[in-house]
Structure 1
Amino acid sequence: MVPPRRVPPVALTCKMSWFLWLSRVRRRRAKNQNTRARKRNTRAAAAVTLEEIRALPPSATRPSYPRVLLQGARSIKEAQPWNCVMCGYVNELTPHLLYNLPAFQCTGCGADPREGDTDFGFSFADLDFNNVCPIGHVKQQKPGECIANALVSSVEINNRIMMTILEQPPIKKGPILDIEDLNFKYKKKWREEGKPEMKDYNGHSFLTMIRVFQTDGVKEMVVTHEDTTKLHKISDWDWINGDDFVAISSALADGYPLVFGFLVGEKVAYLEPGEIYMPPPEDSVSDDGERKPERHFAVLVGAHQEKKVKFFYFLNCWDEEFCKRSNNEGDGIRGGVGAISADGLCFGPVQIFRFNERKTQEVQQQ
């Protein structure tokens, strides 16, 4: 069957008029195609790649990202503007990458807010931006590997945030880094640095693992990337004062997962959603008098303040069965995130920087 031919308007029935009409149609189509091509080229030229951002001069200040991010599902407790009772100034929210925080002092006169004015609460597990949850998955550590798992989790979360900023959404649970590769390179670097052999990991082990990420990089698992040689590196890191609740909350609101250590007792394994874990004193012993608290590493992924109560949310590496909050498939992060008192930190927290950020501003030569 031959498809019916398009009949031109009556005014174009002559041969020359038909030719002119067809020429105009072709020119119009070519113009539209050229316009679409120019738009594609413009978008490609405007795109900012991860390598290009890493090549930018390092900055000690909070970076200005090239994308306006869309904040989706919101927090546990939204922050609100508040009026100063001393000067009447209206203190608006302080914008951050993932979550906007309240002003913790009056911008107009420096007065402290009333109790409850600066209440807020957020967790990476309950946030999304550009339809991406910062947490891809919850790890299940092997005995004695909490430091490696916490550090790898923080790098993975940073990568998900960087890729989303660059409009390159990560896969649902990725990336997943190879912890065995990190442990192998850590032991090699530990020997190269001439340190005595140790059976257990400690804070010095953590610093050596960071140097592995800075110099050698850690491979990505083949389950999330066809190229098994793909390495993940970090540019720099820094300490945050563990007693500075505002500084820690601000870093978290900007999407930085923070590695920290805390003492674990018998009760932490039974922590339930809505409970706040209070670590035992360092000199305490178990009820049977045989065990002392051990140091455990995890990742801070949120903060909460309600009147005088301050605490953080942390991502553990004991699978989603830890502090499980949902049994339903498709609920995102169904467990693995608990809450800890703000004064329960005994190591860190440590901020792993993104892109080409540095903790010290380098002087640029003119």
Structure 2
Amino acid sequence: MVKRGRSSNDGKPWKCHCGNVNKPTKHRFFKLPAFQCGKCQTKLALDFKFCLGEIEAGGKSLIGEVYDQGNEPLCVPFAYAKAAEITERVFLINNGMDPELVIPIDPFELERRFLDKRPDGGPSGVGLTKDAGLHKVLHMGLILRSEGIQRIDVGPEVIQLEESEIFNQDGTYIAADVSSIPRDAFENICHAMAEGIPLVATYLVGKARGRVPYCKSYKSPSLRRIRDKKGKEIGHAVVLIGAGMQKGKLYFYFLNSWTKRFCARRNKKGDIIRGGIGKIRESDLTKNVIKLSPPHEAGGERRLEDQPVFDISNINYVLMKGMEKQSTAQMLQRLRDREAANGGYIPAGHDDDGIFRDDEGVHKVVVTNVST
């Protein structure tokens, strides 16, 4: 297991107005503050922050190098590739192995696999707020679980790593499982990241997306503003690696795939000290975040279901878009009960009784009741 000293960003105990002292919860890499009082349920009001980017093991970064997707619309496969790499680096560190032994998967191959599944076989450079974007995020995750992706360079290191049960014999990466966490379940997202689990997330970007100063939060343009100006809705996928709260406002740290020049911190000579990590408001996420399970870990109740067809099933749609405040757990149970009663998978749009489907046009979806 990884051993480290106490981080300055570990959560601190806090005393509620009711007199109760709320102790932080311990996780693999960070202690998190109690998000609400254990006695009176008052919410946390203290600032806090944590980021996996600050963790090193034996002088080696937990998150590895920053990727560069170039000028191509490949943010989704690059985000998945980095999330898979970090998940494996954490696994190796926890088992006393060198994280540099991890060989990244090929994001270009993941892109090709997705295109092969599209009925039209067309280009995937469509904004993430379009229906094709939702398909892309979902199906790429499922590809990593059901088929796996070849690594960039399979060399002699594979022999070493086969003993750790990360690699298959042919050197492909296969996710143990794929699941989602509601984007408004801030505490659950924080707990996952504090355990060393990166999460794939999406948000809208504007013209200033590449000019974000170091330590400043990026503010996504509102959908209304984009439409009023008749602009193009452009989405972007990144990897969440940390979070925090400042003056009551929640935010996430994310790892981008735009090289270290993104959100770069420079010394007096202009050299980049740190870069590639940005901040975004919690409310700007457009889809539920995706978790690639570490080796031997199941996805649980929010496991994405297999898709025999390209169209997104009702269950997967709820898992990808339904928020915690919308009581989607009950909806999922009704859909699963109906699926079981019908002998298995139910295609999208088949007898869905008005299940919310906004075609990615509006992010605050409305959930209607689903009868069994």
For the criterion TM > 0.5, the same-fold answer is yes
Query: 1:215–1:233: 8 Å Cα contact kept in structure 2?
Result: yes
What amino acid sits opposite 1:260 in the alignment? A
Q: How does 1:53-202 map to 2 (within 5 A)?
A: 67=1, 69-71=2-4, 74=7, 77-86=9-18, 88-107=19-38, 109-113=39-43, 115-116=45-46, 119-129=47-57, 131-142=59-70, 143-171=72-100, 174-188=102-116, 190=117, 195-201=119-125, 202=133
Task: Tell me how far apart the structure 2 counterparts of residues 138 and 73 of structure 1 sit (CA, whole Å).
Answer: 26
Task: Tell me how far apart the structure 1 counterparts of residues 203 and 218 of structure 2 sit (CA, whole Å).
Answer: 10
SS in 1 for 2:223: coil
Q: What residue is the counterpart of 2:212 in the other structure? A: 271
Task: Tell me how far apart the structure 2 counterparts of residues 308 and 178 of structure 1 sit (CA, whole Å).
Answer: 40
Q: What residue is the counterpart of 1:280 in the other structure? A: 221
Q: Does 1:353 align with 2:293?
A: yes
Task: Tell me how far apart the structure 2 counterparts of residues 223 and 185 of structure 1 sit (CA, whole Å).
Answer: 19
Q: Cα distance, 1:225 vs. partner?
A: 5.6
Q: What residue is the counterpart of 1:20 in the other structure? A: none
Distance 1:224 1:139, change over 3 A: farther
Task: Tell me how far apart the structure 2 counterparts of residues 336 and 213 of structure 1 sit (CA, whole Å).
Answer: 24
Q: What residue is the counterpart of 1:320 in the other structure? A: 260
What amino acid sits opposite 2:196 in the alignment? G
SS in 1 for 2:209: helix
TM-score by length of 1: 0.70
Show CA shifts across 1:260-305 (max 9, x none): 1100001121001121111001232399x56323011111110011
Show CA shifts across 1:47-78 (max 9, x none): xxxxxxxxxxxxxxxxxxxx3x3125835x44
Query: 1:132–1:164: 8 Å Cα contact kept in structure 2?
Result: no
What amino acid sits opposite 1:242 in the alignment? R
Query: 2:142–2:178: 8 Å Cα contact kept in structure 1?
Result: no
TM-score by length of 2: 0.69
What amino acid sits opposite 1:252 in the alignment? M
Q: Cα distance, 1:79 vs. partner?
A: 1.8
Task: Tell me how far apart the structure 2 counterparts of residues 78 and 95 of structure 1 sit (CA, whole Å).
Answer: 9
Unaligned runs of 5+ in 1: 1-66
Task: Tell me how far apart the structure 1 counterparts of residues 12 and 120 of structure 2 sit (CA, whole Å).
Answer: 53
SS in 1 for 2:137: helix
SS in 2 for 1:269: coil
SS in 2 for 1:347: coil
Q: Cα distance, 1:178 vs. partner?
A: 1.6
SS in 1 for 2:300: coil
RMSD: 2.9
Q: What residue is the counterpart of 1:210 in the other structure? A: 141
Distance 1:263 1:137, change over 3 A: same
Task: Tell me how far apart the structure 2 counterparts of residues 244 and 213 of structure 1 sit (CA, whole Å).
Answer: 24
Show CA shifts across 1:214-269 (max 9, x none): 12211222287655941111011211111121111111111111101100001121
SS in 1 for 2:274: coil
Task: Tell me how far apart the structure 1 counterparts of residues 91 and 273 of structure 2 sit (CA, whole Å).
Answer: 20
Distance 1:326 1:229, change over 3 A: farther
Query: 2:261–2:272: 8 Å Cα contact kept in structure 1?
Result: no
Query: 2:106–2:149: 8 Å Cα contact kept in structure 1?
Result: yes
Show CA shifts across 1:166-204 (max 9, x none): 1112218x432222222233333x05xxx3333225121
**Aligned length, in residue pairs:** 283
Task: Tell me how far apart the structure 2 counterparts of residues 95 and 169 of structure 1 sit (CA, whole Å).
Answer: 24
Percentage of identical aligned residues: 29
SS in 2 for 1:147: helix
